Structure 1
Amino acid sequence: MPPTHYDAIVLGSGQSGTPLASALAASGRKTALVERAHIGGCCVNEGCTPTKTMIASGRVAYLARRAAQYGVHCGDVGIDMQRVRQRKRDIVTSFREGGEKRVREAGVEVIMGEARFVGSKTLRVAEIEMTAEMIFINTGERPARPDLEGLEEVERVEGRVLDSTSVQELGEVPGHLIVLGGGYIGLEFGQLFRRLGAKVTIVQKGTMVLGREDPEIAECVLGILRDDDIEVLLETSAVSVASSAESPIKLTVEGIDGKKSEIEGSHLLLAAGRTPNTDMLDLATAGIATDSRGHITVSPTLETSIPGIYALGDVHGGPAFTHISYDDFRIIRDNLLSTAPSTNPVHTTAAREKNIPYVCYTDPQMAHCGLHLHDIPRSPSRRILTASMPLSWVARALETDETRGMLKAVVDGDSGLILGFSAIGPEAGEMMAVVQMAMAGGIGWEGLREMVWAHPSWAEGLNNLWGTLKEV
């Protein structure tokens, strides 16, 4: 049979693909959305929604154990892991079904299956061939597999080697969870399962956790993890892994001094990065260029090396955040679906590069927006200032007995504009959003210092932070 022709085909129903497919259909275009697993992509099904739902359970357990500090007595704290898991499943199902209903009601043809290119603008899903003038690739990323001796053999021990997806389906709390990787994913899951009752060891190859952060921020987070009785091994590499009847996981590690040792555990969580879902697409057949890691190279308007084919979300590399993926949708919407088309792009990736926000949902949270100190070009003619203070200087922190954390800002010494901001605290993401708005509006540090904030609030800390400004 001849290929079915569409005006637009969207590959993947992530946080940019799903709203884009709906917008394309609403504009009168015959649109197909191809999804190989489930509507909603990683965020709804394996990422933000389920993980933060489980982390909420972990925080309740943490607070219950601390209740006596507040004069409240709860008795022994027990964990029903199957109830934690079911709560997560129920919320995911609700989000997923809601998204699927909306996209179908928008008039999008949903095709379940895995697509690959068989021509420049021709795709095959199972035995179906499809063509379109516009194709949008939103296939995301998946957990990376480390090159670790013995891993395949150990994986035969069912349910003992986990990734960021399968770890959420555990029906019981691990006895000893070994986490390979000290990035955002590793820290979130490590702390979660420690709070649920597991012994946790985090193995990090780098010199600090959260390797992209300011060292002062990373050191603060490390202190919190260790305060939570989590073992964190820095500058330590995994060499091999084995399994036996006595020890389901026996990980051999090597320190910076060259000495090897063994860590015995019940489960191993692989949390050392992600890899783009491009290897199954046969991109070379369509002439679509990728970088050395397999991410699709795109222009500031997200067009690939082939006119009319675009890539959105994690698959093109860069910051792998849901909100960035959704902004990719807006870039396409504003430039391709606008009722007032222009020869000049009205929205590009360049507009967001200097003020990207994100949150690591450890507890307390670690949030950041803008530039880090080490990202800022230095010159003798440019004055750079920093300000930092502990969270214990904020009244709200003392009143709630949540003093673990800190605030740090980087400031242009001549203009007074804030270049970057980091916060560690229970609602660090919300405090960061306040500073992000100030940065977007051109309000400098003095404006925040003189602002009248509600008392007592977390944002009130932005009155006092600037008293610590010093030149770098």
Structure 2
Amino acid sequence: MKQSFDAIIVGAGQAGPSLAGRLTQAGWTVAIVERKLFGGTCVNNGCTPTKAMVASAHAAHIARRGSDFGVIRREPVSVDMKQVLARKDAIVMKSRTGIESWLRGMERCTVFTGTARFVSPNEIRVGDEVIHAKNIFLNVGARPAVPDMPGVHEVPFLTSTTVLDLDELPQHLIVVGGSYVGLEFAQMYRRFGAEVTVVERKARIIPNEDHDLSSGVQEILQSEGIQLRLDANCIRLENDGEGVAIGLDCLEGHPRVVGSRILLAVGRRPNTDDLGLAAAGVRTDERGYITADDQLQTSVAGIWALGDCNGRGAFTHTSYNDFEIVADNLLDKALRRVSDRIPVSALYIDPPLAQVGLTEIQVRESGRAALIGTRPMTKVGRAVEKGESQGFMKILVDAESKKILGAAILGTGGDEAIHCILSTMYAGAPYTTLSHAVHIHPTVSELIPTMLQSMTPLR
């Protein structure tokens, strides 16, 4: 017998459970479908586990630097990977079970476990059951991409998901991909004690970011002994006795890197392959992302796409904001749009790189008159006192409107301090609102007003 609901939510990632809670509170009956792990990428193989492991790696790093702070250690620092994973798993399990329990105990919410597939624009099959609703929300997420490069079918490799279950320390980890995911794992495993080489096909790491940020991150990683192979074309995976290797053509360096493990960190692909989208008439782009408008409605009325599967953002915070946009527009008759949000992201190496708004490259390309301010972290008292003065901060301001265009902080606490800039931008206030503010000393954010007070024209 077909069951009918006011709404069906496919996927219990960041947007799905919160949307279920909001809709049921409004009196809607909701079916939520999850085929594997409640909590989605963030909880199970993204933010939560990786940041837990980053914390363990940071602890090892600080322990090795004990003498810098007057702390004497008697024995070399070693890392027990099984304990690292046990700590990570406990944190993940608490979040996962919490979300599942919340959904299963939610009034007017029915949980289905299994793979969802469209039968028609208003019907979805889950196992032997068919469920119906006038409103369907797709929150199916994404997974690591595995490119069809030479050797990928013959040589064992890890992805950002499978590496999270690696309970032994590789002697030499080769990371293919020099962007956000690859660099976080590279530094993490270097601090755990592995030799690490990062292979990037472009001329610099995080190639989509400003050159000074790329150089700053490269300096930090190389200072910890991470090897970088850039301009790596024709990357191929190879077996090498009991180990593995990467063959590559670079402008300089040996054409082969031999290691014990390979991690592929070369992007993600949406989980839209087996949804049966054609049966509903839902369109996707050439990469498989569901096309959605500024209010996240798909090509079919009554179907929305939220989170990583819509190609409108690849972060937990953008997924959650997708939920807020959809819920407010549906229930409160609001007119919220994806285009209203300010781009914001963070690369969680240590120290982190946080960015908001436009990059310097984008400001230059716009041709507008702008001001720029910069400060090295060596001028930030809080950073010096903590013994973590690597990096810098910069900010860009429109010369006519005096509004902040964008900013970046590569440095300790930057992922938190940058939010005062973000809040000023959302308020639509001129930069003087922030430059005249009195911040607590000693903090990282107290240098932001000083930076704004000494800006110069962007040339």
TM superposition score normalised by structure 2: 0.96
Moved more, 123-132 or 184-193: 123-132
What CA distance in whole angstroms lies between the structure 1 residues aligned with 2:221 and 2:366?
36
Kindly state the Cα deviation for residue 235 of structure 1 after the two structures are TM-superposed. 1.2
What CA distance in whole angstroms lies between the structure 2 residues aligned with 1:166 and 1:61?
23
Where 1:408 maps in the other structure, the secondary structure is strand
Moved more, 146-155 or 9-18: 146-155
Q: What is the correspondence of 1:45-444 to structure 2 with a 5 Å cutoff?
A: 45-75=44-74, 76-107=76-107, 108-155=109-156, 161-246=157-242, 248-256=243-251, 261-338=255-332, 341=333, 345-352=334-341, 355-376=342-363, 378=365, 382-444=368-430
Where 1:110 maps in the other structure, the secondary structure is strand
Is the 2:313–2:319 contact (alpha carbons within 8 Å) kept by the matching residues of 1? no
Is the 2:237–2:245 contact (alpha carbons within 8 Å) kept by the matching residues of 1? yes
Kindly state the Cα deviation for residue 90 of structure 1 after the two structures are TM-superposed. 0.1
Q: What is the correspondence of 1:7-18 to structure 2 with a 5 Å cutoff?
A: 7-18=6-17
- Which residue in 1 is equivalent to 2:37? 38
Once the two structures are superposed, residues 404-424 of structure 1 have per-residue CA deviations (whole angstroms, 9 ceiling, x without a partner) of 010011111112211000001
- Which residue in 1 is equivalent to 2:25? 26
Which amino acid is the alignment partner of residue 9 of structure 1? I
What CA distance in whole angstroms lies between the structure 2 residues aligned with 1:145 and 1:64?
36
C-alpha spacing 1:260/1:228, structure 2 compared with 1 (3 Å):
closer
Moved more, 88-97 or 248-257: 248-257
Is the 1:188–1:360 contact (alpha carbons within 8 Å) kept by the matching residues of 2? yes
Q: Is 1:458 aligned with 2:428?
A: no
Moved more, 216-225 or 234-243: 234-243
Kindly state the Cα deviation for residue 463 of structure 1 after the two structures are TM-superposed. 2.9
Where 2:446 maps in the other structure, the secondary structure is helix
Kindly state the Cα deviation for residue 440 of structure 1 after the two structures are TM-superposed. 1.6
Which amino acid is the alignment partner of residue 264 of structure 1? V
Which amino acid is the alignment partner of residue 138 of structure 1? N
Where 1:188 maps in the other structure, the secondary structure is helix
C-alpha spacing 1:80/1:147, structure 2 compared with 1 (3 Å):
same
What CA distance in whole angstroms lies between the structure 1 residues aligned with 2:273 and 2:207?
27
Where 2:418 maps in the other structure, the secondary structure is helix
Moved more, 462-471 or 394-403: 462-471
What CA distance in whole angstroms lies between the structure 2 residues aligned with 1:26 and 1:454?
40
Where 1:190 maps in the other structure, the secondary structure is helix
Where 1:151 maps in the other structure, the secondary structure is coil
Once the two structures are superposed, residues 80-109 of structure 1 have per-residue CA deviations (whole angstroms, 9 ceiling, x without a partner) of 100000000000010111111111222321
What CA distance in whole angstroms lies between the structure 2 residues aligned with 1:457 and 1:366?
17
Where 2:197 maps in the other structure, the secondary structure is strand
Structure 2 unpaired stretches of 5+: none
Which amino acid is the alignment partner of residue 115 of structure 1? A
Where 1:132 maps in the other structure, the secondary structure is strand
What CA distance in whole angstroms lies between the structure 2 residues aligned with 1:378 and 1:291?
27
What CA distance in whole angstroms lies between the structure 2 residues aligned with 1:379 and 1:138?
34
C-alpha spacing 1:227/1:278, structure 2 compared with 1 (3 Å):
same
Is the 2:117–2:124 contact (alpha carbons within 8 Å) kept by the matching residues of 1? yes
Once the two structures are superposed, residues 263-289 of structure 1 have per-residue CA deviations (whole angstroms, 9 ceiling, x without a partner) of 111110010000011111121111001
Is the 2:163–2:263 contact (alpha carbons within 8 Å) kept by the matching residues of 1? yes
Is the 2:174–2:262 contact (alpha carbons within 8 Å) kept by the matching residues of 1? yes
What CA distance in whole angstroms lies between the structure 2 residues aligned with 1:87 and 1:378?
46
What CA distance in whole angstroms lies between the structure 2 residues aligned with 1:192 and 1:469?
37
What CA distance in whole angstroms lies between the structure 1 residues aligned with 2:365 and 2:116?
47
Kindly state the Cα deviation for residue 442 of structure 1 after the two structures are TM-superposed. 2.9
Is the 1:203–1:238 contact (alpha carbons within 8 Å) kept by the matching residues of 2? no
Is the 1:11–1:139 contact (alpha carbons within 8 Å) kept by the matching residues of 2? yes
What CA distance in whole angstroms lies between the structure 2 residues aligned with 1:213 and 1:318?
18
What CA distance in whole angstroms lies between the structure 2 residues aligned with 1:336 and 1:326?
16
What CA distance in whole angstroms lies between the structure 1 residues aligned with 2:240 and 2:177?
23
What CA distance in whole angstroms lies between the structure 1 residues aligned with 2:277 and 2:366?
43
Kindly state the Cα deviation for residue 387 of structure 1 after the two structures are TM-superposed. 1.6
TM superposition score normalised by structure 1: 0.93
Kindly state the Cα deviation for residue 374 of structure 1 after the two structures are TM-superposed. 2.1
Which amino acid is the alignment partner of residue 246 of structure 2? L
Kindly state the Cα deviation for residue 130 of structure 1 after the two structures are TM-superposed. 1.6
Structure 1 unpaired stretches of 5+: 156-160
Which amino acid is the alignment partner of residue 179 of structure 1? V
Is the 2:6–2:134 contact (alpha carbons within 8 Å) kept by the matching residues of 1? yes
What CA distance in whole angstroms lies between the structure 2 residues aligned with 1:238 and 1:102?
48
Kindly state the Cα deviation for residue 238 of structure 1 after the two structures are TM-superposed. 4.8
Kindly state the Cα deviation for residue 373 of structure 1 after the two structures are TM-superposed. 2.1
Is the 1:389–1:468 contact (alpha carbons within 8 Å) kept by the matching residues of 2? no
Percent of pairs with identical residues: 39
Where 2:154 maps in the other structure, the secondary structure is helix
Is the 1:364–1:427 contact (alpha carbons within 8 Å) kept by the matching residues of 2? yes
Once the two structures are superposed, residues 308-332 of structure 1 have per-residue CA deviations (whole angstroms, 9 ceiling, x without a partner) of 0000001000220101100111111
Kindly state the Cα deviation for residue 291 of structure 1 after the two structures are TM-superposed. 0.9
Which amino acid is the alignment partner of residue 423 of structure 2? M
